[in-house]
Amino acid sequence: MSDLSHVDETTGSVRMVDVGAKPFERRVAQASGRVTMAAETARRLRDLPKGDALTVAQLAGIQAAKRTAELIPLCHSLPLSSVQVELTVDDTGVAIAATAQTTAQTGVEMEALIAVSVAALTIYDMAKAIDKAMTITDVVLVSKTKEPA
């Protein structure tokens, strides 16, 4: 009935994919994104009325990755071994890079993408009072790998 992995072939209803027969493998995913803003906003990110946007965004991205299965209904809950969120500021905004790692039966792409997205949203939230023209752009999966555990 469907070639989609999250659609039951018999009933057509949505379902969580059964990964029980898949081997445990070391999986790593990297994602990136960007928040564009005025140069003055970029210079002030560590000293905004709401506080240090970069530290808060880094923590928010890590926390969000750990809660991906609660946010995306058909994602599996994964035992993350590592989540890293890196923020690089320049005169046009903030580049965000996230890496998520696990040893599991399914990948960590969504965790890396969620980390980037929530870090970007956190920066936006914390700086919106001083820069109404910010944009969140280019949220993409950069890479994913797996190898035997």
Structural domain includes residue 6 = no
Residues 129 and 46 sit within 8 Å (Cβ to Cβ)? no
The CATH number of the domain holding residue 98 is 3.30.70.640
Per-residue pLDDT of 124-143, as tens digits, reads 999 999 999 999 999 999 99
Tokens of 102: 């696990």
Catalytic residue chosen out of the listed positions 47, 125, 131, 138: 125
- How many structural domains does the chain have? 1
Structural domain includes residue 132 = yes
Active site residue 18: no
| Span 79-108, average pLDDT | 98
| Span 35-40, average pLDDT | 98
Query: What is the span of the domain harbouring residue 66?
Result: 25-148
3-state helix, strand, coil in the chain (%, to 5): 30, 35, 35
Structural domain includes residue 7 = no
Structural domain includes residue 103 = yes
Give the pLDDT band of residue 1 (cuts 50, 70, 90): very low
Residue 102 has pLDDT above 90, yes or no: yes
Structural domain includes residue 13 = no
Structural domain includes residue 20 = no
Structural domain includes residue 108 = yes
